[in-house]
Amino acid sequence: MKKVTAFAPATVANVSCGFDILGFAIDELGDQVTVMRSDSPGLKVTAISGDGGKLPYEAERNTCSVAIQAMLDQLGIAQGMEIILEKGLPLGSGMGSSAASAAAALVAANALLNEPFTKKELVPFAMEAERVACGAAHADNVAPSILGGFVLIRDYQPLDLVKLPVPAGLHCTLLHPHLELNTSDSRSVLRKQISLKDSTIQSGNIAGLISGLFLSDFQLISRSLRDVVAEPSRALLIPGFYELRENIKAIGALGSGISGSGPTIFVLSPDKEIAIMAGKVSEDVFGKIGLGLDVYISEINNNGAYLKEEKI
């Protein structure tokens, strides 16, 4: 193989009560990366589109090349590659933008090298890219972007990923309000200490959410979609958040939460029709506030990153 193109989807991390431990993948919306073998040494990012000129070309700073370099270091080889990144995701929106680029780059480069790694084995390399992009080697975007579905990150030392079942019909409405939200602000508002009571409530809800996914019990999922740890602080940064929650529940959606560190909001629904209605209801809420809104409707993507094209 000389040239491979892969696609990796947007993801929702910090899924409500699954703060810092649970993420899931979206369909269609995502980034595309093409990787070509090169005779000159090293990794070169040769083109980036769809980023408004904001992403770095330097191999040490671009998440595509950082992820591939971590993979090559593990293999102990020095294959030269050229990398083309086509961004489909808005930057810094809380949809796992940096993760999707790294995931697509890794799936492409892995195919180029005749798949020395399983998909699950690619996750730690993508985490190195997250370390460069976000300052911390989080897995809650990269793991679902690579593997698809809902992924539990039980632990980091060592990394322990559990792929969870996706109930048939479950849909996500992603709402991206036109609002600047700095990730470091979003992290600084978090409380450092949680009451024993809140910690127990959070445990009960994540246990309920996981059970609901295994049982395909939409009502249990709905009752469990409640975050008492991060959301009470972060929701204050997103005007309309609580009104939106009430309104989407009134039309039969299961619940909502902040995607990643925001400002994107996810809504989960038991079918496509309600997911579409949730989008309309949200446009009303943000319209009243005077905020623009992008709406994406999607099933949960159960497959994750995939190869689009291979040229020998």
The residues binding its own copies (CB under 8 A) are: 17-22, 152-155, 160, 162, 164, 190-196, 198-208, 210-211, 214-215, 220, 223-224, 229
Nearer to its own copies, 128 or 227 (CB): 227
Is 71 annotated in some ligand binding site? Answer: no
Nearer to its own copies, 182 or 203 (CB): 203
Backbone angles phi, psi at 156, to 5 degrees: -110, -20
CB count within 10 Å of CB 73 equals 12
Is 94 annotated in some ligand binding site? Answer: yes
Please tell me what DSSP assigns to residue 303. Answer: S
Q: How far is the CB of 76 from its own copies (least distance, A)?
A: 30
- 213/222 Cα distance (integer angstroms): 11
32 neighbors 10 (Cβ within 8 angstroms): no
Please tell me what DSSP assigns to residue 179. Answer: -
Q: How far is the CB of 223 from its own copies (least distance, A)?
A: 6
Is 100 annotated in some ligand binding site? Answer: yes
Is 208 annotated in some ligand binding site? Answer: no
- 56/61 Cα distance (integer angstroms): 6
Q: How far is the CB of 128 from its own copies (least distance, A)?
A: 21
Q: How far is the CB of 262 from its own copies (least distance, A)?
A: 17
15 neighbors 104 (Cβ within 8 angstroms): no
Nearer to its own copies, 196 or 250 (CB): 196
Nearer to its own copies, 18 or 124 (CB): 18
Is 91 annotated in some ligand binding site? Answer: yes
For residue 268 the two structure tokens come to 């989960």
Rounded to whole angstroms, what are the CA distances from 6 to 35, 108, 111, 226, 308?
9, 5, 9, 35, 5
Instruction: Extract the annotated binding site for ATP.
Output: 90-100
Instruction: Extract the annotated binding site.
Output: 90-100
